């Protein structure tokens, strides 16, 4: 997870198919209906004043959401000097009103994704809102490691059993299920609210693509009894923030659920320790474990994995910006009595 929430990922669209913005020359615009370019400038200035890191992108996305279109149409209309859809100015003014309301809430640091109701994750658009952690771009790479391993398992054995512990919105599990044909994917979430969001996403993605995720509500540290020693990949982005490290951005500190952020224990790794121990039990010998952590936890995460006595080939992987953000390890062949705790 990353304390930054902004509108830099792929673009959310409205709940219905995008409607193209009318391409009328600027001089045809009706009095009282501001141009798209003016609205974007106004929004970007307002959000910049509020300290939003990506004010123009957020303004474009919010205008697109209010106008039930997509950001590309807003950008195009702003460049071409086109008008918003109008009906004697009526619709445009409604859109402008909705847009300004959204701007006010974003300026109050409500996460962009809570306002649009959607969060991009790899090729998916997931439904999110209060009560669920908003999936972050860096977790897309954690998912990539799991996907690569699952693809290799399917190629060599014809199947792959993959488990996503602490699934939140279902992001990682759904990415694997949609990108790895032949994978059987299970996902575990403890929190009732987050589990409800995951249920919605699992159902929506299944309806759209046919992909299946077996979702259970429960504690990742004890879940999926009966699957021990059978999994090819266990992947997790658990809560891992230490108790004193309150995230700086209000979008994170005030809007991501506490249970999604704080990993408990003095180092924030109490929950990850339990998740790691469970991963060691679930994986077959040679199976892969991948777990996201904070940049400052690279060494302690490797030590945490090693302390189970269940893994070898324990490595830290960097994210696209070069920051150490995940621990990756293979389930070792362990002789009786070797396990450390």
Ligand X SMILES: C[S@@+](CC[C@H](N)C(=O)[O-])C[C@H]1O[C@@H](n2cnc3c(N)ncnc32)[C@H](O)[C@@H]1O
Binding residues for ligand X, rule: CB under 6 A, are 1, 133, 135, 139, 166-169, 171-172, 188-191, 194, 219-221, 237-239, 259-260, 271
User: Distances from the Cα of 214 to the Cαs of 76, 176, 187, 195, in angstroms?
Assistant: 41, 12, 6, 12
Residue 243 vs 286, nearer CB to ligand X: 243
**What residue number has its CB nearest to ligand X?**
168
In the bound complex, what is the minimum distance in angstroms from residue 46's beta carbon to ligand X?
29
In the bound complex, what is the minimum distance in angstroms from residue 193's beta carbon to ligand X?
8
In the bound complex, what is the minimum distance in angstroms from residue 150's beta carbon to ligand X?
16
Token pair belonging to 186: 């299970």
Residue 55 vs 135, nearer CB to ligand X: 135
Q: Is the dihedral of CA 103, 108, 135, 142 positive or negative?
A: positive
In the bound complex, what is the minimum distance in angstroms from residue 287's beta carbon to ligand X?
19
In the bound complex, what is the minimum distance in angstroms from residue 34's beta carbon to ligand X?
37
Q: Is the dihedral of CA 152, 153, 159, 163 positive or negative?
A: negative
Residue 59 vs 223, nearer CB to ligand X: 223
Residue 135 vs 324, nearer CB to ligand X: 135
**Strand spans (E) along the chain:** 118-121, 124-127, 160-165, 183-189, 213-217, 231-236, 283-292, 311-318, 324-331
Residue 9 vs 239, nearer CB to ligand X: 239
The radius of gyration of the chain from alpha carbons, rounded to an integer in Å, stands at 22
Residue 69 vs 139, nearer CB to ligand X: 139
In the bound complex, what is the minimum distance in angstroms from residue 241's beta carbon to ligand X?
9
Please return the burial class of 193, using the count of CB atoms within 10 Å of its CB with bins 0-12, 13-18 and 19+. middle
Q: Please list the alpha-helical segments (H only) found in 165-210.
A: 171-179, 192-209
Distance of alpha carbon 193 from its chain centroid, rounded?
A: 16
């Amino acid at each position: 997870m990353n304390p930054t929430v902004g509108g830099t990922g792929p673009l959310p669209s409205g709940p219905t198919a995008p409607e193209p913005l009318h391409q009328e020359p600027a001089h045809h615009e009706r009095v009282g209906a501001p141009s798209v370019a003016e609205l974007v400038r106004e929004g970007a200035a307002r959000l910049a004043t509020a300290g939003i890191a990506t004010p123009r992108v957020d303004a474009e996305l919010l205008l697109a959401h209010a106008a039930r279109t997509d950001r590309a149409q807003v950008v195009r209309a702003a460049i071409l000097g086109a008008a918003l859809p109008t009906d004697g100015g009526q619709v445009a003014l409604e859109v402008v009103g909705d847009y300004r309301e959204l701007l006010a809430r974003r300026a109050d640091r409500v996460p962009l994704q809570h306002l649009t109701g959607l969060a991009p994750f790899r090729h998916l658009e997931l439904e999110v809102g209060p009560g669920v952690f908003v999936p972050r771009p860096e977790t897309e790479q954690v998912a990539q490691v799991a996907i690569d391993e699952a693809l290799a398992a399917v190629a060599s054995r014809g199947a792959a059993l993959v488990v996503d512990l602490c699934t939140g919105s279902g992001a990682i599990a759904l990415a694997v299920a949609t990108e790895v044909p032949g994978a059987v994917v299970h996902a575990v979430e403890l929190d009732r609210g987050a589990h409800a969001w995951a249920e919605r996403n699992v159902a929506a993605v299944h309806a759209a693509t046919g992909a299946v995720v077996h979702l259970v509500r429960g504690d990742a540290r004890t879940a999926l009894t009966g699957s021990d020693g059978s999994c090819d990949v266990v992947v997790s982005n658990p809560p891992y923030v230490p108790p004193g490290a309150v995230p700086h951005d209000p979008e994170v500190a005030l809007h991501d659920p506490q249970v999604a952020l704080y990993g408990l224990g003095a180092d924030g790794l109490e929950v990850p320790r339990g998740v790691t121990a469970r991963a060691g039990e679930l994986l077959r010998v040679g199976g892969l474990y991948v777990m996201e952590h904070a940049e400052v936890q690279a060494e302690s995460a490797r030590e945490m994995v090693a302390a189970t006595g269940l893994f070898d080939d324990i490595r830290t992987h960097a994210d696209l910006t070069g920051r150490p953000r995940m621990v990756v390890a293979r389930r070792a062949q362990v002789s009786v009595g070797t396990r450390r705790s």
